[in-house]
Amino acid sequence: MTATHSPRRIVVLCGHPLKDSYCASLARAYAEGAREAGHEVRECHVADCQFDPLLRHGYRERQPLEPDLLRLQQDLVWAEHLVIAFPVWWGTPPALLKGLFDRLFLPGFAYQYTSRSSPFPKRLLAGRSARILCTMDSPPWYYRLCIGAPGVRMMRRSLLGFCGYRPVRVSLIGSVRFSSPERRAAWSAALRRLGSRCR
């Protein structure tokens, strides 16, 4: 497979606590498709990261970053495109992934307020794009229309958009629980295609 666009630098972050999950396999499919198309890819699985997920002092004082978090910050600066894959649990990402965000996307790294009178910060990660990949047991239409897609709204607006990522595209995969092997294979193939196009 050859790249239809110029090669890009991509970070694929899997937020499922289990490395053998279907969510993790979709993240790998995206990464494999991207590599086959000539993109440079770095992968990170939250289950491999050693860190305290609690922001123990809020923003009152700095909490030293563990080596895995420092490395991931460097990867985010390096990347032109970020993919975050996670399962939807109670409408939102798993607690471990949310804890990683709390520790990682800090003022001075991801954003910086420059005026006391303005709610709009300087977006320090601007110039990058992102994709959110969610797996769920409910159908995507139910998650969007009946639940309001709170996890996607948080990720797209309050986190990634707030820090400067644009555009932020979304893939909703479900219902995984009742899916056939053929359906899962089709989803994996679709993610490989997205990876090859860095979309």
Reported as a single tens digit per residue, the pLDDT across 60-89 is: 999 999 999 999 999 999 999 999 999 999
Class of domain 9-197: alpha beta
How far out from the chain centre does Cα 52 lie? 19
C-alpha triplet 95, 101, 102: angle, nearest 5°: 85
Q: Is the pLDDT of residue 3 over 60?
A: no
Q: How far apart are CA 173 and CA 26, in angstroms?
A: 10
Of 19-23, 58-62, 122-126, minimum mean pLDDT range: 58-62
pLDDT at 1 over 50: no
**What percentage of residues in the chain have a pLDDT greater than 70?**
97
DSSP state of 21: S
Largest CA distance in the chain: 54
pLDDT score of 167 more than 60: yes
Question: How many other C-beta atoms lie within 10 A of the C-beta of residue 80?
Answer: 15
Measured distance CA(177)–CA(137) in Å, rounded: 5
Structure tokens of 150? 């709170």
The mean pLDDT value of the chain amounts to: 95
Helix (H) or strand (E) holding 69: helix 67-78
